[in-house]
Chains A and B, each alone.
Chain A
Amino acid sequence: MRPSVQIARREIAQLFSSKTMFIFAVVLPFVSILFFNTLLSEGVARDLPIAVIDLDNSSISRNVIAQLESSPELTVSHFPINEKKGEELIRLGKVYGLIIIPKNFEVNLKKGKQVNIINQYNSNLILAGGLEYKAFRKVIGTISAGINIEKQRKQGISTQQAIVNFQPLTMNNHVLSNPFTNYSYYLNTGFLAMFFQLFVILTTTYCFGIDLKYNKGNQLLRIADGKLSSIIRGKVLPYTLWFMLVGIIMLYSMYVWQDFPFNGNKIGVLLGLFLLIVANQSFSLLIIAITNSFREALTIASGFAAVSLSFSGITFPIFGMPKVMQWLSQIFPFTHFFELLLDQSQRGFPIYYSLKSIAILVLLCIVPITLGWFRLKVVFNKGKFKHHI
C-alpha cells in the first residue's frame, strides 16, 4: 500500500476514535450552518419600538402617531410623560428613538407656520438607529408633502401638477444584487463562510498538532518512508474532500434553502471554495511549522481565522481602513474568497472579473506551505513540538 494512503486511513480512523476531532470536523460545521441560517431568517428588522411624546394632543398629532405606527419599520410602544423619561427609555434599551410633537402643532400648521417634529435616536446602535432615522424621515416627509400638495390643490392646481411643483427632481433607484435589501443575504454570506474556513483551519491544525504533541512525528515519518510530502498528502487530502462536501452543503443552504440571489458562475464559486480550503490548510501547515507548541498553534490558527472576518470588509470596507490594515487584509484567503463569492453569487459579475481573486487564492495556497516546508521537515524529524504545553 502506498504510504500516503496508509496515513490517510490512519487519519480517518483517528477522526472516528477521537471525540474532539469528530466534533470539530463533523458536528460543529453543521451546527454553525443551522445556527446562522435560522438566527437571521427574518433578514429585515421590523417593528423597532419607539417612544412618542405628544404635547399637542390634536387630531393631526394623533394622525402623525398613527402614520408612524403604520410604517413597517416602527412601532410606537411607549408614551413617556416628558423628555427626561423618554431619554431614560432609550438608555434602558426599551426604545430606539424618542419623537416629540410640540405644543400648538395643529394650530401653527393651520396658520401656515412651519412646525418642527423632533426625533432623538440612538445612533450608538448603528443598524437599528439608522433604520429608525430613515423610517422617521420617510413618514414625516410624506405627511409634509401631503399637506403641501393639499394646499396647492386648494389654489386650483391639479394633483399631478402639484406633485411636480413639490418635487421637480425625483429618483429612480435600481437596487442591484440584493433587491430586498435583506440583511441576512449580507451577513449570513459572511458569517457562514467565515465559520466554514475557521473549521478548516482548526481541523488541519488539530490533526497535525495532536500527533506532534504526543510525539508521533517519527512514527509518521516511518510510515511515509521519510517523505514529508506523503504525510501531508495523507493527512490533508481527506479533509480537503470532506470540507468540499461540507462547503457545498453550506452553499446549498444559502442559495437553495434560503433562496439567496445567485446570478453568477457556479463553477467559479466551487473553484473558489476549493481554493479557500486548500489555502487555509496551507496556512495551518505554516502555523504548525513556526509555533512551539500545540496550544500556540491552535491559538494562532483560531485567531487568524477569527480576525479574517473584520479584515474581509464585511463589517467595515477595506478601502476605509488605515493603509497598513489594507495591506494586511490581502494575506487572508477569506478576504478574496468573500469577494469572489459575492461577485459570483449576488452580484452576478462575468467570471472574468473574478480571475484576480482566483489568482490571489492560488498564490495563497502555494506561498505559506513553501515558506513553512523546511521548518516543517525539522519539526517532523524531531517528532514533536519544542514545548509540551
Chain B
Amino acid sequence: MRISFKTYYKAKTSFWNTVSTEWNAIKSDKAVMSTFILMTVVILIAYTYIYSTQVVKEVPVAVINQDGSKMSRDYISMLDATEGLKPILKYTDLQAAKVAYYKKEVMGIAIIPKNFQNNIRKGKQTTITTFSDAANMIFYKKVLGDISTVNGYFSAGIVINKQMALGNSMDQAQQNYAPINSVSTSLFNSSAGYANYLIPMLTALIVQLVLLMGIGILSGSRQEYIATHTNFPRLLHPGGTIPILLAKACLYTAIFMVVIPIQVGIVYTLFSIPIKSSLLTIYLFLVPYIFATVFLGISISSFFKRREEAIVFLVLLSVPSLMLSGLSFPVEGFSEFYIGLSKLLPSTPGINGFVRLTQMKANFFQVINEWIHLWILCIIYFILASISLKRRAFKESKILNSRQ
C-alpha cells in the first residue's frame, strides 16, 4: 500500500513537472511558437485562398465552326451556357487553333463539321471532333466532360423533337429516347469544390505536421545541449517514462483543444467551408490522433541530432502522408506494401476520420474503426517512445559522467 502510494505520488510529481518543463520550453522557444502559429493559421489561410474559387470555370476552348448554320450556332451557345467552358470562335481553321493551343490561349479544340445542319435534318449521323489535352487532367476532364454533356443533350433534343413532330407527347418522346434515366446525386460537397475537398484534409494533416515539427525541434535542442535527462530526471528510474510521456501527450492535446476551434473557426468561416459535426465529437476523435502523433514524434526524434533537421524531414513527410491517406488518389490503386505502410502513419486514419466527421456528416460510431486504429498506433508508438527516451537518457548520463 505504501509502495503503491509512493509510486503514485512520484508519478504525479513527475507528470506535473513534465507539463511545466515542456510548456516552458514551448513558450520560450521562438521557433516552436512560430511553427505553431505559422503552420496552423497562416499556411492554412494561404492554402485555402489558393483554392477559394472552388471550381474551375470558363476554360477557353477553340470552336471551329465549319458549318455556319443556325443549328451550329445553337450548339455553340449551348457550349457557352456551360459553367466550365468558354468557346472562342476567332479561329477559322485547325492550324490557327493549334497555334492558340501552343500559346495556351485555349485548352482544347472542337470542330463542328460542314453540313452539320443539313446532315441532321436529313437524318444522317454527324460527328463533332474534339481535341483535349490530358497532360493536365483538370482541364482535360472539364473540356471533354462538358462537350460530351452538351453533345448528349443536343442529340437528345434532336431525337425528341423529331418524335414530337410525329405526334408523340413530350413525355412519351422522352421515355422512348431514354428508357432508363440515370439520376446522380452527390451526397456531400455537391459543387465538387476544391477547397471543400482539400482543406479538411490539410487541417488534419497540419496537426500531425506541427506536432512532429514542434517535438522534433524541442528534442533536437535538448540533444544539442545534452539536456534530455536533466529536463526529465525521472527518465532514469524504472517506469519513469510513463508519466513523462503521458504528460507530454496531455499537454499537446490541451494545446490543440484550444488551437483547433480557433483555426477551424477562422479559416472555415472565412472561406465558408462547411463543418457538419460538433466540436465535442471532433475533440473525442482527435485525442488518440494527437496522442499517437506525439508518441510517434518522440520515437523518431532521437534521429535528429540538430533542431533544424526536424523541420526538413517533416516537411518531406507531408506530401507522402497526404498521398498515402488515400483521399486524393483512391487506395484501390496502391500496392499492398503501400497500403500497409499507410496504416502505420497516424495521419491516415486521422485525415480519413476528420474528413468523414466534418464533411460527410458521419457520426462518431461511423469513424470508430479509425478511432480504434489510432489507439492501436498509440500503444505501439508509446512503447517505441519509451524505449527511445530511455536509451537517450542513459546515453546522455553516461556522456556527462565520463566528462566529470
Contact = CB atoms under 8 A, between A and B. Distances in A.
Most A-side CB within 10 Å, residue of B186, B194, B352: B186
Contact of B125 (A90, A121, A167): A167
B134 A181 contact: yes
A169 B154 contact: yes
A35 B338 CA distance: 9
- A interface SS class: helix
Contact of A181 (B120, B137, B330, B356): B137
A72 to B, nearest CB: 12
Contacts of B183: 116-119
Contact of B359 (A32, A124, A165, A302): A124
A93 B362 CA distance: 10
Most B-side CB within 10 Å, residue of A35, A93, A169, A198: A169
A115 B186 contact: no
A310 to B, nearest CB: 5
A25 to B, nearest CB: 12
Given A38-B335, A48-B330, A170 B46 contact: no
B9 interface: no
Contacts of B306: 20
A295 B217 contact: yes
Contacts of B392: none
B137 to A, nearest CB: 5
A191 interface: yes
B151 A294 contact: no
A49 B57 contact: no
Interface string B80-121: 000000000000000000000011000000000000000010
Contacts of B126: 168-170
B328 A122 contact: no
Interface stretch (A139-147, A227-235, A275-283, A373-381): A139-147
A92 B29 CA distance: 41
Contact of A302 (B198, B305, B312): B312
Contact of B35 (A88, A299, A314): A299
A45 interface: yes
Contacts of B128: 169-172
A74 to B, nearest CB: 11
Given A168-B159, A169-B154, A130 B180 contact: no
Contact of A316 (B120, B138, B174, B356): B138
Given A46-B333, A168-B158, A320-B56, A126 B192 contact: yes
Contact of B120 (A32, A168, A298): A168
Contacts of B356: 91-93
A87 to B, nearest CB: 7
Contact of B178 (A43, A126, A148, A187): A148
Interface stretch (A3-11, A217-225, A341-349, A364-372): A341-349
Interface in A154-168: 163-168
A355 to B, nearest CB: 12
Nearest to B137: A186
B188 A122 contact: yes
Given A91-B366, A126-B194, A307-B46, A183 B187 contact: no
Contact of B329 (A28, A35, A96, A127): A127
B319 interface: yes
Contacts of B154: 169
Interface residues of B, number: 105
A90 B50 contact: no
B135 interface: yes
B238 interface: no
B189 interface: yes
B180 A90 contact: no
A28 to B, nearest CB: 7
B130 A168 contact: no
Nearest to B197: A126
A325 B127 CA distance: 40
A362 interface: no
B187 A122 contact: yes
Interface stretch (B139-147, B247-255, B279-287, B377-385): B139-147
A215 interface: no
A113 interface: yes
A299 B323 CA distance: 22
Interface in A98-141: 109, 112-131, 133-134, 136-137, 140-141
Contacts of B139: 317
B192 A129 contact: yes
Contacts of B188: 122-124
Most B-side CB within 10 Å, residue of A35, A45, A114, A147: A114
Given A41-B335, A169-B126, A187-B329, A114 B50 contact: no
Interface in B277-334: 305-309, 311-312, 315-316, 318-320, 323-324, 327-330, 332-334
Contacts of B52: 322
Contacts of A119: 182-185
A120 B194 contact: no
B31 A35 contact: no
A116 B180 CA distance: 6
Contact of A309 (B34, B148, B319, B335): B319
Interface string B350-382: 001001100111100010010000000000000
Contacts of A125: 197, 327, 330
A44 interface: yes
Interface string A324-350: 110000000000000000100011011
B179 A183 contact: no
Contacts of B131: 174, 176
Across chains A and B, which 10 residue pairs bring their CB atoms closest together, nearest first? A123-B186, A178-B134, A177-B135, A114-B175, A140-B182, A302-B315, A91-B362, A144-B180, A128-B330, A124-B189
Given A39-B324, A296-B31, 16 more contacts: A115-B180, A116-B181, A120-B186, A120-B187, A133-B184, A144-B178, A151-B179, A164-B124, A168-B125, A169-B128, A169-B154, A171-B130, A173-B129, A174-B129, A186-B135, A213-B308
14 contacts: A44-B333, A91-B362, A113-B175, A124-B188, A141-B182, A169-B126, A174-B131, A181-B134, A183-B333, A195-B316, A303-B43, A306-B318, A310-B50, A315-B194
